[in-house]
Amino acid sequence: MIGTMLGAVGIVLFLLAVDSLLSAYVFGVLWGIVSSSQVLIYMILAHYFGQASYGTIAGTLRPFEAGGLGVGQSLGAVLYDITGNYRGLIIASLGVHLLAALLIFLAAPPASPLPTSESDVS
């Protein structure tokens, strides 16, 4: 996941240099490749936290994902109307991806629960 976030940072940096239709297509293809690996987050969550916590964690994350996708488009349009370009939005995206990479790096796996009885010990 850290690699995905750092890859997104690189692709977003490339977005600052997009100045033609060809470079826009190249950006689109590269963004699709990097973004497709983010689909694995739910598999990583299940492996990392276990199946018992998966539903709660995935259900908690989903509204934030959907909200971000909804707000991002409107916020981007408002920022463009105010500034006349997307530069601020792109730079903010860089910061968010770097912050996400840092938080993923700092995340520690949850502690395994201790067995509660003799039958739990293998």
Q: Can you give the residue ranges of every domain in the chain?
A: 2-107
pLDDT 10s per residue in the chain (122 long)? 777 788 888 888 888 888 999 999 999 999 888 877 666 778 878 887 888 888 888 889 889 888 888 888 888 899 899 999 888 888 888 888 899 889 888 887 777 765 666 555 55
Q: Are 86 and 76 in contact (CB under 8 A)?
A: yes
Q: What is the pTM of this model?
A: 0.68
Query: Considering only CA atoms, which of 98, 77, 99 is closest in space to residue 88?
Result: 77
CA–CA distance, 110 with 121 (Å, rounded to integer): 19
CA–CA distance, 23 with 103 (Å, rounded to integer): 31
3-class SS shares of the chain: helix, strand, coil, % to 5: 80, 0, 20
CA–CA distance, 92 with 112 (Å, rounded to integer): 37
